[in-house]
Amino acid sequence: MVKKSDEDFFAGKRPWSLIKDQILKDYMTPYLAKVKDLRRPILLIDGYAGPGVFEDGAEGSPVIMCRAAEQSVRGSYQARFINKEARYHEKLEAVIQREGWSNSAQAIKGDTTALLRTLPVSLKEQTVFLYLDPFGPTGCEFSLLEPFLKRNPRYSTEILLTMNMPGMHRFASRRAIGKGRQDEQLIQNYHRIMDKIFGGEYWRKIMFDENLNPEEQEMQLIEQYRLKLARHLPYTGSCPVREKTDKRIKYFIVFASRHQDAMLLLNDIMAKAYFSGMHKADFVGGLWEDIDWREMRVADDIDEVILSMVAQYSGQTRKFLWSMIVQQHFMCYLRPEYHTAVRKLLNGKKLNSPSFSATGKLNDDIQLYLP
Question: Are residues 92 and 150 both part of a single domain?
Answer: yes
Last residue of a domain, one of 238, 258, 283: 283
- pLDDT, tens only, 301-348: 999 999 999 999 999 999 999 999 999 999 999 999 999 999 999 999
Residue 274 has a CB neighbour count (10 Å cut-off) of: 21
- Give the residue numbers spanning the domain of 24: 4-283
Span between the terminal Cα atoms of the chain, in Å: 68
Q: What pLDDT is recorded for position 16?
A: 63
Alpha helices (H) in 10-109, listed in sequence order: 17-35, 61-72, 86-99
Question: Are residues 265 and 352 both part of a single domain?
Answer: no
Question: Are residues 151 and 89 both part of a single domain?
Answer: yes
Question: Are residues 254 and 311 both part of a single domain?
Answer: no
How many residues belong to the chain?
371
Question: Are residues 106 and 37 both part of a single domain?
Answer: yes
Residue 290 has pLDDT above 50, yes or no: yes
Q: What pLDDT is recorded for position 135?
A: 83
Q: What is the CATH number of the domain that holds 322?
A: 1.10.10.10
Last residue of a domain, one of 229, 258, 283: 283
Question: Are residues 366 and 276 both part of a single domain?
Answer: no
The answer to whether residue 347 sits within a structural domain is yes
Mean pLDDT over residues 360-364, rounded? 90
The answer to whether residue 317 sits within a structural domain is yes
The answer to whether residue 38 sits within a structural domain is yes
Q: How far apart are CA 70 and CA 257, in angstroms?
A: 23
Question: Are residues 247 and 332 both part of a single domain?
Answer: no
How confident is residue 17, by pLDDT bands cut at 50, 70 and 90? confident
Q: What pLDDT is recorded for position 1?
A: 37
Last residue of a domain, one of 213, 248, 283: 283
What are the angstrom distances between the C-alpha of 322 and each of 24, 174, 355? Answer: 23, 39, 18
The answer to whether residue 291 sits within a structural domain is no
Question: Are residues 201 and 326 both part of a single domain?
Answer: no
Average pLDDT, the chain: 91
Question: Are residues 311 and 195 both part of a single domain?
Answer: no
**Strands ordered across the beta sheet of 249-257:** 105-109, 77-83, 42-46, 127-132, 157-164, 249-257, 235-242
Residue 48 has pLDDT above 90, yes or no: yes
Q: How many domains does the chain have?
A: 2
Q: What pLDDT is recorded for position 13?
A: 56
- pLDDT, tens only, 223-278: 999 999 999 999 999 999 998 888 999 999 999 999 999 999 999 999 999 988 88
Question: Are residues 109 and 139 both part of a single domain?
Answer: yes
Mean pLDDT over residues 295-306, rounded? 84
- pLDDT, tens only, 159-202: 999 999 999 999 999 888 888 888 899 999 999 999 999 999 99
Q: Which of 296 and 84 is assigned the larger pLDDT?
A: 84
Residue 63 has pLDDT above 90, yes or no: yes
% of the chain exceeding 90 in pLDDT: 78
The answer to whether residue 36 sits within a structural domain is yes
The answer to whether residue 290 sits within a structural domain is no
Q: In 3-state terms, what secondary structure has residue 207?
A: helix
Mean pLDDT over residues 351-368, rounded? 91
The answer to whether residue 331 sits within a structural domain is yes
The answer to whether residue 26 sits within a structural domain is yes
Question: Are residues 221 and 361 both part of a single domain?
Answer: no
Q: What is the CATH number of the domain that holds 190?
A: 3.40.50.150
262 Cβ neighbours under 8 A, 6+ residues apart:
31, 158, 235, 255
Mean pLDDT over residues 97-119, rounded? 95
Query: Is residue 86 within 8 Å of 108, Cβ to Cβ?
Result: no
Mean pLDDT over residues 350-360, rounded? 89
How confident is residue 3, by pLDDT bands cut at 50, 70 and 90? very low
Residue 298 has pLDDT above 80, yes or no: no
Nearest CA to 164 out of 72, 271, 241 is that of 241
Question: Are residues 257 and 307 both part of a single domain?
Answer: no
List, in sequence order, every residue forming a beta bridge with 252; answer none if it has no partner.
163, 240
